[in-house]
Amino acid sequence: MVRSASLCACLFLLIILSCHSQLLPRLSFPMGSPGRSLTVFTSPDVYNTTTLLLSNDEETLFIGARDAILSIDVSQIDSMTFKEKLDWSPSEKDLVDCSMKGKMQTVCHNFVRVLQVLNGTHLYACGTFAFSPRCIYINSVTLTLATGPSGKPEEGRGRCPYDPYQKNTAITVDGELYTGTVADYRGTRPVISRHLSEGSHVDLKLDDTLGWLEDPTFISSTFVHSEEKVYFFFSEIGKEYDFIDKFTVSRVAQVCTSDVGGQRTLQKRWTTFAKAQLLCQAGQELPYNVLQDIVRVDPPEGASDDETLFYGIFTSQWRVNLGRSAVCAFSLKDIKRVFTGRYKVLNRDTLKWSTRVQEQMANPGECGLHNASDNTLRFVKDNFLTDKSVPPVNQRLTMVSPDASYSNIAAQRVEGANGKLYTVLFLLTDSGFLHKAVLLDKGVHIVEEIQMFHRPQAVKNLLLSVAKAVVLVGSSEGVLSLPVANCSHYGSCADCVLARDPFCGWNSLRRVCIRVTRSEKQLAQDVDEGNVSEQCIIVNPRARPGPSSEVVSVSLNEVVHLKCPEASHLAKRHWERLNSQLSPKIYIQSDNSSLSFVATPSTLGHYLCLAVENGYSQTLVVYHVKQKSNPTILPAPPSRPNITPTTETGNKTDISTPVQSESKPKQVNVYATVAHKDSPAATTWKSRNFTRWFGFEEDKSQMTEPGGNLNQADKGTYLKELVVVSILLALCVSALLTIAFNRFRHVCTNQTVPQTPSSRRDLEKGGSATPQERESLKGHSPRLEKRNGQASNGVSHNGQSHNGKSAVNLSNSMLNVSNGHLPNTPI
């Protein structure tokens, strides 16, 4: 039973893997491709441009770099114009102190890790500042330092990490800063805190002695206005799974913006902190448990905030899912339901978690607990982990990448030409490619992938500008800007519809593929199915506009290679000939859909490469293969027994062998057509040898010599001839060994058989010996010669003489001569 269950699980996993392996980008654009051009901002003295912030009007991009903060004009889609730069470098003393701490010089700079809009006129920034974090106020208009409440730069401990490679998150709400980071030099004191508090609010943080966080890696944070809560997303060690050592889990935590801490218990500490597990798992599969990035997608206009979705990238610490990424979606409605449910209780003595069985004194995570009693707050201190996990939307994974590891994500809701809303994900891979995927009811369709970097980037950031319709990517090499779509790349209605891009639609009047807008909605588009026949009016569905015929001039017996351009990774390509079919014995179609064959009079002509996608067939390229005006005569290969030899005088000796006809031709693949048996084919004996050299095998029953004589050659290959020769050689060697063995046996027999003296004396006396026997005993034997099948004495092979008398019979004594063989018989 256990073995059967394991087998079923393995089969199910293989089915899942095979389904996932079919998730391929439809188009690929290498770096510098004109189909998807990038706008790059770089500066010789600017490094590590990884912290990005858009202004409220999305006209200006603020960049937090190494030792500097910059502002760039991004009002134009295809340009990034430098505006201002603010130098913010550590002093020489700060660098020396950093080196004294044992840090490398490369990390003893000021890396800006927090950059937030504080209000309409100022920004707030924090940097590592040579392992001594500091924060400043910046005038967002002039990009100059501004004076803060203290009149000097503020200490950044608890607001910004010390290590530039330590992940953190920060967000401002009503002028207050909420952060998730580490609060010590070693990075062992994680903290979620509030700073810059105003009015009745006070700065709050977690009590790090209570174990509320277990070695977390902070990813993101967001503010939900209707809930008046800030949600933090991170990964940490799941202590509730005590049967697994260092099992990583993904979390969502919440705090209320109205929290001011307890009066006696939990003073200046959060009273509304609670956390829950995010479960990115499908069925009984192993979960994708390590959160890499997460993004928020607001609900459609007029919908409830409960429909807010969070799309996260998850990887796995299990070897079976190593190198793969999964995307899971979580709804705000499910998160709220888990936080209002039951909670686990932590035993402070054993540090073990268990399901709460005692009476519930309060609902942890509920806003307004700062006015609760001390008993209630003590109950909250031990009950901050929810009993249930937050499941993914529809209880399944949104998508799984079979061979790419995603690191960053951005998302947007897009209204298609039919008025339907689609969710588009922009996923950045570790290898430097950006995937654009659209979520459909039947699964995920990856529209395209664009190469963003030449080399993989360790630290990068992804930001989406919905107003400008561009994707912004920050890395150590610079900032890149990419339009969310390039509809003009699709030159026909079929290409535009097959792309299934919700941003693009085909305008039949202008005959162009354009962006879908509120004013441009009467467009041909089918994002869900990509059905060309229903959206496009095509006179000839097999033709693609503009496939020009390319002429290829070749010589006879020359090997021809025809390349077929790739329409998309999802299209299946195959070759066809006009009024003819491609025999697999003559043509070879490689994995990259190129066609190879030997140029003969029968293989000249037109060749078409076609692509089939979603049931729509289009011609990609047409080749016209013709013979050169002055054909080049190639040297003849070595003559062979089954080939008609040519003498010096030009005469030919016909040596023909029977050829077996093929009763049924074979197909190259499911897209190749079956060859006609009666299709004519002409070639020379030279081309037949060329065919064998290059692995081709032609139908030789249909080959004719240039003179018109039928050349019946064997249909074997060199491999077959080698096998035949090897067998004949083995037979010859066996025959020689048999003859040698018989000779040796006869010699040994003659030497060991005893002679009867009486018999010999009788023979010497005359006895009954014949004259021939007597001659043999004297050491003489009659000479036997065969001429034309007869012996010299007139005795034939059948034992009859020419005169009708019986042939002389040799007695056994004649065989016992010294050599052990018949007299004068060659060995």
According to the model, what pLDDT value does residue 726 have?
86
Mean of pLDDT values over 183-195:
92
pLDDT in tens, 696-745: 333 433 333 333 333 333 444 467 778 888 888 988 888 889 888 888 77
Q: Return the CATH class of domain 415-457+485-538.
A: alpha beta
Q: Are 528 and 442 in contact (CB under 8 A)?
A: yes
According to the model, what pLDDT value does residue 644 have?
38
Within the chain, which residue ranges are assigned CATH 3.30.1680.10? 415-457+485-538
* Full DSSP string of 283-311: TTSPP--EEEEEEEEPPPTTS-GGG-EEE
Contacting residues for 349 by C-beta, under 8 A, at least 6 apart: none
d(CA 806, CA 772): 15
According to the model, what pLDDT value does residue 364 have?
87
pLDDT in tens, 263-321: 888 999 999 999 999 999 988 888 999 999 999 999 998 899 999 999 999 999 888 88
More confident site: 523 or 242: 523
According to the model, what pLDDT value does residue 538 have?
61
More confident site: 101 or 464: 464
The share of the chain scoring above pLDDT 70, in percent, equals 75
Q: How confident is the model at residue 358 (pLDDT cuts 50, 70, 90)?
A: low
Mean of pLDDT values over 39-59:
94
Mean of pLDDT values over 811-826:
38
Q: Which amino acid is at 340?
A: T
Mean of pLDDT values over 336-359:
83
Mean of pLDDT values over 675-701:
36
According to the model, what pLDDT value does residue 349 have?
78
Q: Is the pLDDT of residue 220 over 80?
A: yes
Q: Is the pLDDT of residue 156 over 70?
A: yes
More confident site: 348 or 680: 348
Q: How confident is the model at residue 748 (pLDDT cuts 50, 70, 90)?
A: low
d(CA 195, CA 32): 44
Of 133-137, 453-457, 659-663, the range with the highest mean pLDDT is 133-137
Count CB neighbours of 466 within 10 A.
13
Q: Is the pLDDT of residue 29 over 60?
A: yes
More confident site: 492 or 810: 492
More confident site: 2 or 207: 207
Within the chain, which residue ranges are assigned CATH 2.60.40.10? 540-739
According to the model, what pLDDT value does residue 763 have?
37
pLDDT in tens, 590-637: 988 999 999 999 999 999 999 999 999 999 999 999 998 865 555 545
* Full DSSP string of 509-547: TTTEEEE--SS----B--TTT--HHHH---S-TT--S--
Lowest mean pLDDT among 159-163, 462-466, 714-718: 714-718
Q: Return the CATH class of domain 540-739.
A: mainly beta
Q: Is the pLDDT of residue 541 over 50?
A: no
According to the model, what pLDDT value does residue 3 have?
43
Lowest mean pLDDT among 15-29, 68-82, 284-298, 333-347: 15-29
Q: How confident is the model at residue 205 (pLDDT cuts 50, 70, 90)?
A: very high
The share of the chain scoring above pLDDT 90, in percent, equals 54
Cα 214–Cα 217–Cα 218 angle in degrees, nearest 5:
115
The helix/strand/coil state of 776 is helix
Q: Is the pLDDT of residue 802 over 70?
A: no
Contacts 24+ apart (CB under 8 A), 103-110: 103/131, 107/131, 107/163, 107/164, 107/165, 109/66, 109/67, 109/164, 110/66, 110/67, 110/134
Q: Is the pLDDT of residue 528 over 80?
A: yes
According to the model, what pLDDT value does residue 335 have?
97
Contacting residues for 414 by C-beta, under 8 A, at least 6 apart: 421, 422, 423, 424, 502, 503, 516
Lowest mean pLDDT among 235-244, 312-321, 723-732, 747-756: 747-756
User: What mean pLDDT is reported for the chain?
Assistant: 79
